[in-house]
Amino acid sequence: MPADPSDLRGKVAVVGVADIASPSGRLDKTMAELEAMMVKEALNDAGLTLQDVDGLFTARSESMGTLDLAERLGVHPTVTDTTMTGGSSFEVHVEHAAAALALGLCEVAVVVYASTPRSGGAYRPGQAYRDWNPSRPSPMLEWEQPYGISLPMGAYALAASRHMAEFGTTREDLAEIAVSTRQWAAMNPRARYRDPLTAEEVLASKPLCEPLHKLDCCVVTDGAGAIVLTRADRARQLKQPPAYVLGAGTHHTHSIISQMPDLTVTAGKVSGARAMAMAGIRPADVDVLETYDSFTITALLSIEDLGFCKKGEGGRFVRNGTLRPGGRLPTNTNGGGLSYTHPGMYGIFLLVEAARQIRGTSGQNQVEGVDIAVAHGSGGFLSAMSTVVLGSEATT
């Protein structure tokens, strides 16, 4: 008989976390240095060492991934994974690591990411999408860019425009997401932006690709993070309270934005439902949501698709401080990609903050009484969604 995915519930836990960012947006280390630093800090957080690591996960398309990383770290993994789905890669890695650990294919798994778009070279918005290798087939170059779409934000602007046209969502609704996230960032001393932000300021910021303005868009910073996972039985013997992996799910629907089946519905509708079913929870059981916010519309679509409100009601749902400190769904409690940090792929930071919220170590940003936290990653152009449910107990 096929395995029951729910058999993974609570079998594996996040036992160590680390991340780094700077209010300046710049870090004075290379990507390789940051990767090694984060791995060692996360292992130290767990009370483990490099000698314990036999599972390694990363998403670096410009190198040999885990082969290069393992060589620099001096480890020899029995499980290695360089799955690349953009910003959701690290939630996918948790799903894969949980399966490998539960099956006994490895004992200690590390997921790590680092990027330095600010200090590592001259940053030019959209440059990566203009520098495709013409010798490789590229549907984006053939079917989209000749028509003048500005990437990446143009893809999200299309989704926002469609949501507004179909459901009456307003720019003020999107602005509320940026404002609520900034309120969380104000309490995070490492956040890129901490100054108070109003909806009026978001609406008045520079138009970049209507209906998205500058403050609807994530920051661009250097940053890095890592998490350590092991089996639940071992996790209970380590330094930190475990954040148990209760559920995980992944789904993707397209690559380029013109092929998205419905601009108002993401693959999170499937990944979220799978993860919550595995965990045995409903959206109402979630205490904290850490969701991808590359743009304000990214977060709004995810809130709907994860089931926190009905499709089309996201604008009304976020009003009245729902996502803010003290709101009924605390969201992106470290300041998110909109105000904390965003070095190109943000998914690792979702996991780090979700685990900290579960174990009660998020400092001023800590939400009281967190038992269930969801980390929801988005990769590509709203293309690949992966959802992880973490809990304070191995079973719900």
Report H helices in 10-105: 31-46, 66-73, 89-102
Backbone phi and psi for residue 123, each to the nearest 5 degrees, phi listed first: -90, 130
Q: Choose the catalytic residue: 113, 129, 292, 346.
A: 292
Cα separation of 39 and 41, whole Å? 6
Which pair of structure tokens corresponds to residue 380? 């590509």
Contacts for 257 with CB less than 8 Å, ≥ 6 apart: 144, 149, 154, 155, 158, 159, 263, 381, 382
Q: Is 325 helix (H, G, I), strand (E, B) or coil?
A: coil
CA distances from residue 236 to 47, 98, 242 in whole angstroms, order as listed: 12, 16, 7
State the catalytic residue, choosing from 113, 156, 244, 340.
Answer: 340
Burial string for 256-279 (b: 16+ CB within 10 Å, else e) reads bbbebeebbbbbbbbbbbbbbebb
Is-catalytic flag, 340? yes
Residue 105 backbone phi and psi in degrees, to 5? -75, -20
SS3 sequence of 137-155: CCHHHHHCHHHCCCCCHHH
Task: For residues 223 and 341, give the distance between their C-alpha atoms in angstroms, rounded to a whole number.
Answer: 7
* H and E: helices and strands count for the chain: 13, 11
Contact between 174 and 300 under an 8 Å Cβ cutoff? The reply is yes
Type and span of the H or E element at 374: strand 372-379
The neighbouring-strand residues paired with 288 are 373
Contact residues for 33 (Cβ-Cβ < 8 A; gap 6+): none
Can you list the pairs that 2-5 forms with residues at least 24 positions away whose Cβ atoms lie under 8 Å? 5/274, 5/278
Contacts of 311 (CB under 8 A, 6+ apart): 167, 264, 265, 304, 305
Task: Catalogue the active-site residues.
Answer: 292, 340
